[in-house]
Chain A
Amino acid sequence: MIRIDSHTLGALIGLLRKDGFRVLGPTVRDHAVVYDEIRSFEDLPIGWTDEQNNASYKLIPTEGKSLFAFAVGPHSWKQFLFPSECSLVRSHRSNGSMELRGAQEPLPTPLAFFGVRPCELHAIAIQDRVFLEGPFADPWYKSVREKLFIVAAQCTHPGGTCFCTSMNTGPRATQGFDLALTELSGGSYLVEAGSQRGSEMLTRIPWRAAETAELEEAERLLSTAAASMGRTLETEGLQQSLYANLSHPRWDVVGRRCLSCANCTLVCPTCFCSTVSDGSDLTNTDAHRTRTWDSCFTADFSYIHGGSVRPSTKSRYRQWMTHKLATWVDQFGTFGCVGCGRCITWCPVGIDITEEARLIREQAPQAKPTS
């Protein structure tokens, strides 16, 4: 484990940019910490902290110079690997022929994510399974993902809606990054390499070995973080419990509160549903198909001729929550939830997935699965 100062951190960003990476990281905009291009150290959210709760997000300035003293904001990294809108197919019709071609989506210059939290590393890994490891892979995702450089930030400031420890996704990351930072007090950063590329990057910046006191401080910060989760979610038996309670009265209650506004699916770092739209020019010569993010909360998400399979908000909330915490396990081998708490913070009526899960289990009319 090595130690660098904030000045060197800035230099690291510069090196990445010089190597041709487009560096994306946290920055303050519209009273929130969002992810956008980081051109220099000054773009980072220096000295900011946050307070998060159900339907509540507050960014608070501090006197200090910390870079990561806040929990995740409304953006997730999925927007860069799985763009909210992208072109899929172009069709050109003329003289009795139809030329079908894949869309020419410009590949971004190689991306570097700066400041990825452990829960987010897991979210990226979860989306890797969806987009790369099924029978059909997304070629664009693959291309961007292959070149991606990840600088993770061990989480020392979990938020009011966080529960990564329940989901086993944090607050410490041990893999899935090229470099990982731990922010200490006084502008020091411990850095560890998680890959060959990461190790090579370290040879180009000045560093010294971490001192015992610094290592101990990192340990303390991380254990304090682990003990400061805003929420908990009992995952033992959770899948079975949800499967056994698909008719639980609690769904009616949450169904009445839910606005099916889709905020949760938009902010969720693992949600991957999409839809397509087709259009053409006025003469219908050149047609195109575009893929955009979609949400299972929309009324026609499940539409088959005659109507939607899930016309009620209650059934759509149930679909989202049981997908995240039950069927995802059968589909991909892990939960779809990483405990980042975004859905709780950004739900306009403050629905809390951990509370819903707890109430369904505690008030279970039937404890055992029916089949």
Chain B
Amino acid sequence: MEQAPEAEVTLETTVDSHFVPRPFRVQRTKRETHDVFTLELKAEEGPPLSFRPGQFNMAYVHGTGEVPISISGNPAEPETLIHTVRAVGGVTMAMKHAHRGDLLGIRGPYGSAWPIDEAVGSDLIIVAGGIGLAPLRPVIYEALKRRQQFGKLVLLYGTREPDDIIFPKDLEEWRSRFDFHVFVTVDRALGSWKGHVGVVTSLLQKASFDPANALAMVCGPEVMMRFTALELLKLGVDPGQIFFSMERNMKCGIGLCGHCQYGPYFVCREGPVFPYTRLKQLLSIREI
């Protein structure tokens, strides 16, 4: 019995499937530190990318690969998509050498957002470590826009050395406000540094806020986030009011490749922002 000839039907997936990136053009590049840079992008066609603070995109470099990068811009100004990136591998190195006019592929936004609405009526404590300030900058912009909805607004930012400080202009501007308490520290410095030296958790003593009515958003290396949570708990902040942004290997960003699993959670789907109550047990288990 003859088999009918194979039907020549092809399936072409579209951008709507979230398998295919959209082209975005580099408008501006800015060096932040020796290995951190910021890219400002605009969609080549179609609507700007609207996002909520804490979300990330999968950024594609033609022929090289795709990596998850948090969005670091202002959610109220989505026409310019901003990503602050650390050059650590092939794709991010390629992005570091991008020029104005180059094109990147963007898929997103994905993931959970910082719970800014939950912080309304409370003191909002933002603790950032190193490049962790980048995923927090959008929520800072939004909190400043809605400033009157919160009690105290505090930013504690720690990084390695003074040269590693990112967004110095933003920090200066925020510091000059009377309704925003900004503290910056470094792990070590040359004598010319006039600021604080010590771990970021030591800044918690300086920032006077009401722990019983505070919500903390923490982002940075996992070690730093763990110790920050411990200090916050010691001060009396409720564990359900502490939020981390977690990071894991991602290949798809949409919950299908399985790489970003952290216990039962897909960091790209239930995260990257998690309440501490969900993480507490997982954080204490090695190699999970």
Residues of chain A whose beta carbon lies under 8 Å from any beta carbon of chain B: 14, 17-18, 20, 22, 39-40, 88-89, 91, 93, 96-109, 130-131, 134-140, 143, 246-247, 272-276, 278-280, 284, 287, 289, 294, 296, 300-305, 309-312, 314-315, 318-319, 323, 326-327, 330-331, 370-371
Contacts and interface: CB of A to CB of B under 8 A. Distances in A.
Given A98-B23, A273-B257, A276-B65, 19 more contacts: A14-B1, A17-B3, A88-B19, A89-B19, A89-B60, A91-B62, A98-B44, A104-B11, A106-B11, A109-B4, A136-B17, A247-B285, A274-B256, A278-B64, A284-B62, A287-B63, A294-B257, A310-B287, A312-B287
Interface string B2-35: 0110111111111101111111000000000000
Contacts of A14: 1
A349 to B, nearest CB: 21
A97 B24 CA distance: 10
B17 A102 contact: yes
6 contacts: A100-B20, A109-B7, A274-B251, A278-B64, A315-B287, A318-B287
Given A91-B105, A97-B103, A294 B258 contact: yes
B190 to A, nearest CB: 26
Contacts of A246: 285, 288
Interface residues of B, number: 55
B236 interface: no
A303 B250 CA distance: 9
B252 interface: yes
A100 B269 CA distance: 25
A254 to B, nearest CB: 14
Contacts of A315: 286-288
A294 B247 CA distance: 20
Contact of A272 (B11, B17, B256): B256
Contact of B7 (A20, A99, A101, A312): A20
B199 interface: no
Contacts of B240: none
Contacts of A97: 23, 44, 103
Given A91-B105, A136-B256, A246-B288, A100 B21 contact: yes
B280 interface: yes
Contact of A102 (B9, B13, B264): B13
B280 A287 contact: no
Given A88-B19, A370-B281, A275 B264 contact: no
A276 B259 contact: no
Contacts, number: 176
B13 A136 contact: no
B224 to A, nearest CB: 14
Chain A, interface SS category: mixed
Contacts of B247: 304
Nearest to B257: A274
B188 interface: no
Contacts of A327: 261, 263-264
Interface of B: 1, 3-4, 6-15, 17-23, 44, 60, 62-66, 86, 88-89, 101, 103, 105, 247-249, 251-252, 254-259, 261, 263-264, 266, 269, 280-281, 285-288
B62 A305 contact: no
Q: Which 5 A-B pairs have the closest CB atoms?
A: A102-B13, A280-B63, A315-B287, A273-B258, A287-B63
A318 B261 CA distance: 13
B19 A273 contact: no
Given A273-B259, A301-B249, A301-B259, A331 B264 contact: yes
Given A91-B105, A284-B63, A102 B14 contact: yes
Chain B CB within 10 A, most for which of A96, A140, A304, A310: A304
Contacts of A289: 60, 66
Nearest to A280: B63
A101 B20 contact: yes
B24 to A, nearest CB: 9
Contacts of A284: 62-63
Nearest to B282: A246
Contacts of A318: 287-288
Nearest to B258: A273
A280 B261 contact: no
Nearest to B281: A371
B259 A138 contact: no
A14 B3 CA distance: 9
A89 B20 contact: yes
Contact of B6 (A109, A287, A304, A330): A109
Nearest to B90: A278
Contacts of B89: 305
A304 B250 CA distance: 9
A212 B89 CA distance: 69
A40 B9 CA distance: 25
Nearest to A144: B11
A158 to B, nearest CB: 29
A297 B60 CA distance: 26
B6 A311 contact: no
Contacts of B6: 22, 108-109
Contacts of A136: 17-18, 254-256
Nearest to B13: A102
Given A275-B251, A278-B64, A100 B23 contact: yes
Contacts of B11: 104-107, 139-140, 143
Contact of A91 (B63, B101, B259): B63
A305 B191 CA distance: 31
B80 to A, nearest CB: 19
A89 B22 CA distance: 11
Contacts of B286: 315
A88 B13 contact: yes
A18 B1 CA distance: 8
